[in-house]
């Protein structure tokens, strides 16, 4: 699966890129119809410590799945967003079975 990571107004650390890629690869091993994913990393300017924002769009046949989450770190936001995407994938699988 192709993973495209974009960061807005900053350069990502190599470890963060590897972390996100590994998490998305695990997800693609569970659901094999993923075409690719687009990840956008942003820093919120609201002044509170939970200013790391991640947006993940999973490209699948038919509709894309999307999750946007905010947390204290990009790793934590990634985990939360992937949990939401796993739920969306389960619902998508159930629709396909019907």
Q: Give 12's contacts (C-beta < 8 A, 6+ positions apart).
A: 5, 41
φ, ψ of residue 57 in degrees (nearest 5): -115, 120
Mean pLDDT of 40-54: 86
Q: CA-to-CA distance for 7 and 84, rounded, in angstroms?
A: 21
Above 90 in pLDDT, residue 5? yes
- pLDDT, the chain, mean: 90
Does this model's pTM top 0.85? Answer: yes
- Mean pLDDT, residues 15-42: 90
Q: Quick check: 46 pLDDT over 90?
A: no
pLDDT confidence of residue 96: 80
d(Cα 26, Cα 4) in Å, to the nearest integer? 16
Q: Which two tokens stand for residue 95?
A: 């629709």
Q: For domain 2-97, which architecture applies? A: 2-Layer Sandwich (3.30)
Give the span between the Cα atoms of 90 and 85, in whole angstroms. 9
SS3 78: helix
Contact criterion met (CB below 8 Å) for 74 and 54: yes
């Amino acid at each position: 699966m192709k993973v495209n990571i974009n960061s807005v107004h900053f350069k990502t650390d190599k470890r963060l890129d590897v972390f996100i890629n590994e998490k998305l690869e695990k997800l693609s091993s569970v659901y094999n119809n993923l075409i690719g994913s687009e990840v956008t990393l942003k820093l919120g300017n609201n002044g509170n410590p939970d200013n790391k924002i991640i947006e993940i769009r999973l490209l699948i046949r038919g509709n894309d799945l999307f999750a946007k989450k905010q947390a204290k770190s990009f790793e934590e936001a990634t985990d939360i967003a992937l949990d939401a995407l796993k739920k969306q994938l389960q619902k998508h699988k159930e629709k396909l079975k019907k």
